[in-house]
A and B are shown apart, each in its own frame.
Chain A
Amino acid sequence: MSDERRNSSDKTGENDEVLQWVTFKLENEVYGINVMQVQEVLRYSEIAPVPGAPLYVLGIINLRGNVVTVIDTRSRFGLEPCDVTDNTRVVVIESEKQVIGILVDSVAEVVYLKASEIDDAPNVGNDESAQFIQGVSNREGELLILVDLDKLLSDDEWDELKQF
């Protein structure tokens, strides 16, 4: 996580800073990602598979002449695959100095959360995917799971993506 973002999520700071999060849905859960990392949200378009690509890569899309690798977010989160619908979106994000796309079931809204409203997730489980969770927040009676995009892939996997 960059220093800027780490500092902004520091609950012990003098100001209870308000952060913006883009929320999306996968299965029945709502996830949030830091708005500063989101470049744009695209409607689903044909994703071209890449032979020999790692399992977590769905393929590539052409974004105004730039090739963007799309990650299979469902498999990354340990969820079963599902069919593409009208609500399916590709969220283009910047993380670890790379631009990638993540496929989600739908994008909901941008929400404002105070740093003090974010709690740590229960520290249970050693599974790799457990570290994706940056925190949880109770928003209007619904639990929002905040995702640390930098940890979505391991260092080796980020390096591997550079070769695309």
Chain B
Amino acid sequence: MSKPLAASKKVMKNYLSELLTDEPLMQERSKHELTDRENSKSVEDKRLETLLKNVNAELKVKENDVTTHKSVSEKIDSKKIIVNDIIEENKFEPLVTHKSTGSLIPKKSKPYRQGDFQALFFNVGGLTVAVPLIELGGIHKIEKTTTLMGKPDWFKGVMLYRDEKINVVDTALWVMPEKCDEKMKSSLNYQYVIMLSDSAWGLTAENLVDTVVLKQDEVKWLDTPSKRPWLAGLVKDKMCALLDVDALIQLLNDGSGIHQDD
């Protein structure tokens, strides 16, 4: 394996292992952070108190000089208070943004979420990816793809298979666009197109690794809606991503890249 490929694999492994890290560890770390923050806060409070004392002392000395200014500022303060009250009254309206609702696709219950299930593992750019076999539409040998102008980089083109037109996705460019430099692109040797369910979308693959029967506890499931709807979970043993095919199809239909704003 070439150095950049090995490096990218290592980076992905670290990333995935971070995702796999148990929550208690994270909580402990956040506890430490909280106590540190509390300590620094008390130091900050003491500093503010002394600063206030100094300021008050200075104000007492100059009190007579600033009477007119003070009365004016008091008036302004009272106005400010009224304005603040009005703002607070309006605060009760729930704040809903498009971002908070738009990017999170609710996860549907999957047939492979009960009992053992089979998954196909394949390689692309040194990265192993898994797809539940039940959501696999088929595997074809890659043939000539016709490039269409104006499409995103990850859209490799249209491949004709019998009478079907398959929309071929450059998997490496979709999954890890930031790591796909010219060198990596030229080293990619796609051999297969893995069809996603009964859609017209197919993912390119360099090698097919294996099909493995997975138990439910062998996967760290990501059931809550997240910013990575295409990720059903992480296969603990192989440290690789298990794709949520339906969510991935939805993203591809929307023309979204992995970051959903591409």
Query: Which A residues lie at the B interface, using CB under 8 A?
Result: 27, 29, 77-79, 119, 121-133, 136, 138, 141-143, 145
Contact = CB atoms under 8 A, between A and B. Distances in A.
Contacts of A124: 151-152, 155, 167, 252, 255
B237 interface: no
A9 B164 CA distance: 21
Contact of A132 (B149, B158, B252, B255): B149
B150 interface: yes
Given A142-B160, A143-B160, A119 B151 contact: no
Interface in B145-177: 146-152, 155, 158, 160, 163, 165, 167
B156 to A, nearest CB: 11
- Residue with the highest number of chain A CB atoms closer than 10 Å, among B150, B155, B165, B167: B150
Interface of B: 146-152, 155, 158, 160, 163, 165, 167, 200, 252-253, 255
B146 A145 contact: yes
B148 A133 contact: yes
Interchain residue pairs A-B with the least CB separation, the first 5: A130-B150, A129-B150, A127-B150, A143-B146, A124-B255
Contact of A141 (B160, B167, B253, B255): B160
Contacts of B200: 122
B182 to A, nearest CB: 14
A118 to B, nearest CB: 11
Contact of B149 (A119, A123, A130, A138): A130
